[in-house]
Structure 1
Amino acid sequence: MIHPHVDQALRGNARQADRLMILILWAMLVVALALSGMHDTLGWALAVGIPAALLPTLLVMTAGGSRLTRMTNAVALIVMCALHIHQGGGRDELHFGLFVALAFLLCYRDWSVIAVAAGVTALHHLSFNYLQELGYGVRCLVQPGLAIVLVHAGYVVAETVVLCYLALLLRREAVQAAELRVGIAALQGEGGAIDLR
C-alpha cells in the first residue's frame, strides 16, 4: 500500500504533467489553425481541435492529477495528431507528431497512459485507412493501404514498449524519492534538524 504522502506526491507530479499537456494541446490547436490553409481545413481545425483542447483543459481544472484526466489528455494528443495528419493530406512528415506525442506522455510516469495513446493511434490508422479507401473524405495516408498501416504500427509498438518500460522505471524512482522524503520528514524534529533518537 502506498503511504498517503507518497500518493500525494505522485498526484502532484500528475498535476504538473497535466498542465504541460494543456500547453501542448493549445499549441497543437495553433498548429492546426496554421495548417488549415494547406487543404482548406479550417472547419476541421475548429470542429475537432477546439474540443480536443477544451475538454482536457476543463478536466485539468476540475480533476487535475486524476487517472481520467491523464487518459483524456493522452487521447486528446492523439486526436490532435490525427487532425494534423488529415490536414496535411496524410503526409508522412505529420505522422512524426504521433511519436512525439507518445514521448511527451512519458512525463506522467504511467505506462497505461502511453498504452492507451498507442491503442488510439492504432485504431485511428486502421479505421481512417479504410474510411479513406472508401472515400469518406478523411485522410490518414498519402496512399491508403494495410501494408503501410502495419509498418507504422510496428514503429508505434516498438516505441510504446520502450516508453512503457521507461515509465515503469520513472514511476519506481518517483515512489522511492517520495518515500525517502516521508522518511526524512519523520526523522526531523520541529526545528528541521534530524533527530536520531
Structure 2
Amino acid sequence: MTRTALIVWGGWSGHDPDLCSSMIRGWLKAEGFDVRVETATSVFLDPAIRDYSLIVPIYTMSKIEKPEAAALCEAVAGGVGLAGHHGGMGDAFRDAVDYQFMCGGQWVAHPGGIIDYTVDITRPDDPLMQGIASFEHRSEQYYMHVDPANEVLATTTFTGEHAPWIDGVVMPVVWRKRYGKGRVFYSSLGHRAYELDVPEIRTIMTRGLLWAAR
C-alpha cells in the first residue's frame, strides 16, 4: 500500500517555503510516497487528512483558524505523522497553543542572527542519528521553549556572546515525541532551503520524515 503525505506550505517567504516544499516532496517521492501539496491551512478541514501517513507543515509566522488547528491536532492524535523543520513547523502559528503543544516547542529567539555554532548529536546509537557525528553549522541558532517530554536527539550550546544571560544553555535541536497515536518529529535546522542539502541535515530530516510517517 502506497504511503501518502500532505505538504502545506506558505507564510513568511524568507524561509523559502516553496523551495523547501519542492525538496521534501522529492525526498518523499523517492521513498515511494504519493505526495499532495497545498498552500492554504484550510486544507486541514478536509476529513481526508485523517487517512494520510504524514503531514509536513512549512508555514512560518502565520495564523491558523481554531477549527483548522483543532482538525490538524485531531488527525495527528489519531495516528497521522507530523514532521517539519525550523520556523516552518517550530514558528508556524504563534497564537495556536494546541498546535505548539503537539509540536513540542516554539521558537522565541536566534541571538546573533546568522552565526557559527555546533550541533551535538546526543543519541548517536539511535537509528535516526546513526553514523552522524556532531558538526559545525552556520545559520540561525534557535532558542526555543520546549516540552520536557520530548525525546531529544541533538542539542546546541549557547556561548552567551550575543545574550550573556544564556551562556552555557543547552538547547534541543532535534527531537521526536508522541502525540496521541501520532509520531511527531522536529529539527530546528534549515533556515534556508540550501541548508537542507547539508549532508547531516538532509540525512536527519529524511530519517525523521520516515520515522514519523505511519
TM-score (norm 1): 0.31
Bigger CA radius of gyration: 1
Report the structure, 1 or 2, having the larger strand content: 2
TM-score (norm 2): 0.29
